[in-house]
Amino acid sequence: MATRPLALLLLAACAAVPARSEPFPDAIAEALAAMGIAEKDLGYRPLAHWGRYPHPRTIPHVLPFFEDLHARPLDTYGFARTLGNAVDELLQPAKLREAPDAKDRKESLFRLGVVLGTDRLLGAFRGYSANLDPQPWDREPLLHACETLLERSGKPLRRPMSFGAQFAKEEPSPRAKLRTEVDKVPGPLQLPLARLLLNLIEAREWIDLGLRDVPFEMRERLFAALPRLLEETPDGMGYDPVFDDIAKGIDGPSLYYGCLKALQAVQDARREVPEGGHPAFVFRLDTPWGAVRFDNGAEEFAEEGPFLVVDLAGRARGPLGATAPRRSLSVALLLAGAGGGKAPLASGILGCGVVYAAGDAGSSYATDRYGLGFGMFGLGALVDEGGDDSYEMAAGGMGAGVFGIGLLLDAGGNDAYRLLEGDGQGFGGPGGVGVLADRSGDDTYFAERDAAKAGRADYHSADKVAANNAQGAGFGRRGDGSDGHSWAGGLGALLDAEGKDTYEAGNFSQGIGYWYGTGILWDGRGDDVYESVYFTQGSGAHFAIGALVDEAGNDRHTLLENAGAGLGFGWDVVNALLIDRGAGSDRYEAKIISTGLAEVRSNAFFLDEGGDDTYVLDAGTKGFGDVDERKEYTDPPKTSTASFELTQVGVFLDLGGKDAYLRRPKEGEPAPDPEAGDNRRWNLRARDPRAAGGFNVSFAADVEGGKARFLVPWPAR
Per-residue pLDDT at 167: 53
Confidence category of residue 161, pLDDT binned at 50, 70, 90: low
Contacts of 210 (CB under 8 A, 6+ apart): 250, 251, 252, 253, 254, 255, 256, 257, 258
| SS3 at position 75 | helix
Lowest mean pLDDT among 136-145, 294-303, 438-447: 294-303
pLDDT of residue 15 exceeding 50: no
Confidence category of residue 23, pLDDT binned at 50, 70, 90: low
pLDDT of residue 691 exceeding 80: no
Rounded distance between C-alpha atoms, residue 247 and residue 348, angstroms: 15
Rounded distance between C-alpha atoms, residue 517 and residue 406, angstroms: 16
Cis ω for the linkage preceding 172 (within 30 of 0): yes
Per-residue pLDDT at 624: 98
| SS3 at position 188 | helix
Per-residue pLDDT at 3: 40
Per-residue pLDDT at 687: 94
Rounded distance between C-alpha atoms, residue 469 and residue 485, angstroms: 20
Confidence category of residue 168, pLDDT binned at 50, 70, 90: low
Give residue 416's identity as a one-letter amino acid code: A
pLDDT of residue 339 exceeding 80: no
Residue (of 555, 473, 470) closest to 504 by Cα position: 470
Confidence category of residue 482, pLDDT binned at 50, 70, 90: very high
Per-residue pLDDT at 487: 98
Please state, rounded to an integer, the average pLDDT across all residues of the chain. 93
CA Rg, the chain, in Å?
28
pLDDT of residue 86 exceeding 60: yes
Q: pLDDT tens across 610-630, in order?
A: 999 999 999 999 999 999 999
Per-residue pLDDT at 204: 98
pLDDT of residue 600 exceeding 80: yes
Per-residue pLDDT at 24: 65
pLDDT of residue 129 exceeding 80: yes
Phi and psi based region of residue 709 (left: phi greater than 0; alpha: psi -120 to 50; beta: remaining): alpha
Per-residue pLDDT at 160: 60
pLDDT of residue 428 exceeding 60: yes
Per-residue pLDDT at 298: 84
Kindly give the pairing relationship between strand 529-536 and strand 427-428. unpaired
Q: pLDDT tens across 496-540, in order?
A: 999 999 999 999 999 999 999 999 999 999 999 999 999 999 999
Per-residue pLDDT at 705: 83
DSSP code of residue 65: T
Q: pLDDT tens across 357-409, in order?
A: 999 999 999 999 999 999 999 999 999 999 999 999 999 999 999 999 999 99
Per-residue pLDDT at 16: 38
Percent of the chain residues past pLDDT 90, beyond the cut: 89
pLDDT of residue 11 exceeding 60: no
Confidence category of residue 716, pLDDT binned at 50, 70, 90: confident
Once rounded to an integer, what is the mean pLDDT over residues 1-15? 36
Rounded distance between C-alpha atoms, residue 291 and residue 304, angstroms: 8
Q: pLDDT tens across 239-256, in order?
A: 999 999 999 999 999 999
Prediction pTM value: 0.95
Residue (of 254, 343, 272, 360) closest to 306 by Cα position: 343
CB-based contacts of 23-27 (< 8 A; 24+ apart in sequence): 24/705, 24/706, 24/707, 25/703, 25/705, 25/706, 25/707, 26/706, 26/707, 26/708, 26/709, 27/653, 27/655, 27/701, 27/703, 27/706, 27/707, 27/708
Contacts of 512 (CB under 8 A, 6+ apart): 469, 472, 473, 474, 519, 535, 536, 539, 540, 546
Per-residue pLDDT at 163: 59
C-alpha atoms less than 13 angstroms from C-alpha of 351 in its C-beta half-sphere = 27
Cβ neighbours, 10 Å, residue 445:
30
Residue 422 CB burial class (10 angstroms; 0-12, 13-18, ≥19) = buried
Once rounded to an integer, what is the mean pLDDT over residues 570-598? 98
